[in-house]
Amino acid sequence: GAPGDVNSNVLVARSTGDAQLDKAVWQWLSWDKNQKTKEQIESLLQNGKHKELRDRLCCRLTFGTAGLRSAMGAGFCYINDLTVIQSTQGIYKYLERNFSDFKQRGFVVGYDTRGQVTSNCSSKKLAKLTAAVLLAKDVLVYFFSTYVPTPFVPYAVQQLGAVAGVMITASHNRKEDNGYKVYWENGAQITSPHDKEIIKCIEECVEPWNGSWNENLVDTSPLRQDPLKKICDSYMEDLTKICYHRELNMQTSLKFVHTSFHGVGHDYVQLAFKAFGFQPPIPVPEQKDPDPDFSTVKCPNPEEGESVLELSLRLAEKEDARVVVATDPDADRLAVAEQQENGRWKVFTGNELAALFGWWMFSRWKESCSQDADVRNVYMLATTVSSKILRAIALKEGFHFEETLPGFKWIGSRVKNLLDNGKEVLFAFEESIGFMCGTSVLDKDGVSAAVVIAEMATYLQGQSLTLAHKLVDIYETYGYHISKTSYFLCYDPPTIKRIFERLRNFDGPQSYPGCCGIYNILHVRDITTGYDSSQLNKKSVLPVSKSSQMITFTFQNGCVATLRTSGTEPKIKYYAEMCALPGHSDRSVLEEELQKLIEALIESFLEPDKNGLTWRSA
């Protein structure tokens, strides 16, 4: 039969010999109105590709560390028109149960610039369908008329008093991916139990409702408002709360290069620099405009360092700019490079930048706070796999430091809680170059971080210092914190599970390793099971996270190392840090010890050769 003839499809579908798969195929072909993705399933069916059909149709998207994230394409566990409609219907159901004033307060929808021609799928189109589901149900929808940085969505949710918001983005993932990030009324990403409840609601209403496919509603419905100008103006105004040296910024001779990695960042970073009194940063022309193929970089992740910063570093040399700032494609993360005296570039790690931000935000607070301000009311936060440098600064300066589970969603919720209890939060971060300066946005924000770094570099130049000089100075004052983070790729979930189960039953059932090579282990914390040998009751203080793997080892020599699975990519990540007290400043000795420990960790615990793991290409 013709592809459009549903009855013929049903007959073909019955012939897979698997009732569950037959049903899923039938559902897809009767519900999907996107010709391209519908044809993808039809062609798999016609070619008898039952295993791939099962992989695409017999599982659903779940909430990871950053919402729903997957490859674009056909199937219930991929990101596409149908799964975005289903997810939004579930969210509608959940919000309607939780908020009596949901329809009046409204819902925010933003998007980045990703897309995939072969699936006729783009972030903007997915955002329009998200809005359509809600508009068809008479919900007020704040739909941005153009692409925005991810932080604009949580910011808008708070500013506009909306009940929730969604950002369509896969941040710095590979170009094939897209995602659906959900923010709650408090302006933080949703955490459990909301995510579990929303998944239940999605499963209750999988069939698209009547108005759900009408993407033109954003152009015709009177309930759609465009918050762009209001939010952008208000955001830039709020940004000046963390600007301390406007005069210096206006006069500085320093030049900055900015790359937006083919994403959304260009216009917004230009405006942020203007708000701080700077001349606009010099943009990297080849990377300034959105390009869903990210054609000048091998991957759109600024964390990958010098290899992906090539164009911006060459431009900076040509323009005599000493500092390069790079925002990732959805502008919620920031990479920074600085040219050193020898002409070489230093690309800072997330942990090094956090040391700089922590010092800066605290010293600015101290200089500008009132006489009766209490340092014990001040907080900084980091995720538990990030550097403990803030803990060292906090101990010496008298403010509070707290840790959360990995993922900024945990930081956002905790910060909101602290603010509601009258505390002052200056800074929070995660090592994967996610920074939150100030509390206007309860999520990581690369736009504000970029301009804060520029002001910091300007201020330091006035003292004849570079960012790299200052970093050494911070380590000398608070103790060296030397860390290394990397990852292995593993596309086989059973192998990952086996690696972690082996660690839980290392010297026999339910016994964790007591040493790693020549290094003795003092404590083990297993976030997956909730075990922590350092606690009296052996229970982890951080909440259990059964759905992902994560074990932390504290060694006798002061090193802390964590192995975990990525919440957004097929990776096993490792994090290791040597923390020294002030005065113990032989950096090279610490570095060598850390390197040897990491080698032992990989060899003894991950066994890459035996497990067929792919090393991260340096």
Active site residues: 171
> Residue 431: which region, alpha, beta or left (left: phi > 0; alpha: psi -120 to 50)?
alpha
3-state secondary structure 500-513: HHHHHCCCCCCCCC
**β-strands 141-143, 224-225: how paired?**
parallel
Q: Could you tell me which residues are beta bridge partners of residue 425? A: 379
Strands (E), 539-592: 550-555, 559-565, 571-579
Q: What are phi and psi of 203, to 5 degrees?
A: -70, -25
Residue 110 contacts residue 153 (beta carbons within 8 Å): yes
* Cα dihedral 98→135→332→454 (10° resolution): -110
Site of tokens 């982890």: 540
Contacts of 579 (CB under 8 A, 6+ apart): 388, 392, 479, 480, 481, 558, 559, 560
Cα–chain-centroid distance for residue 36? 29
Q: Quick one: tokens of 390?
A: 């803030």
3-state secondary structure of 64: strand
Q: Which of 36, 43, 58 is CA-nearest to residue 9?
A: 43
Question: What DSSP character marks residue 343?
Answer: S
Question: How far apart, in whole angstroms, are the C-alpha atoms of residue 297 and residue 274?
Answer: 28
| DSSP-assigned states of every residue in 195-222 | HHHHHHHHHHT-SPPTTTT-TTHHHH-T
DSSP 427-445: EEEETTTEEEESSSSSS--
Q: Which two tokens stand for residue 87?
A: 């997810």
Q: What is the rounded CA–CA span in Å between residue 162 and residue 165?
A: 7
Q: In angstroms, rounded to a whole number, what is the distance separating the alpha carbons of residues 508 and 526? A: 17
Q: Is the CB of residue 594 less than 8 Å from the CB of residue 489?
A: no
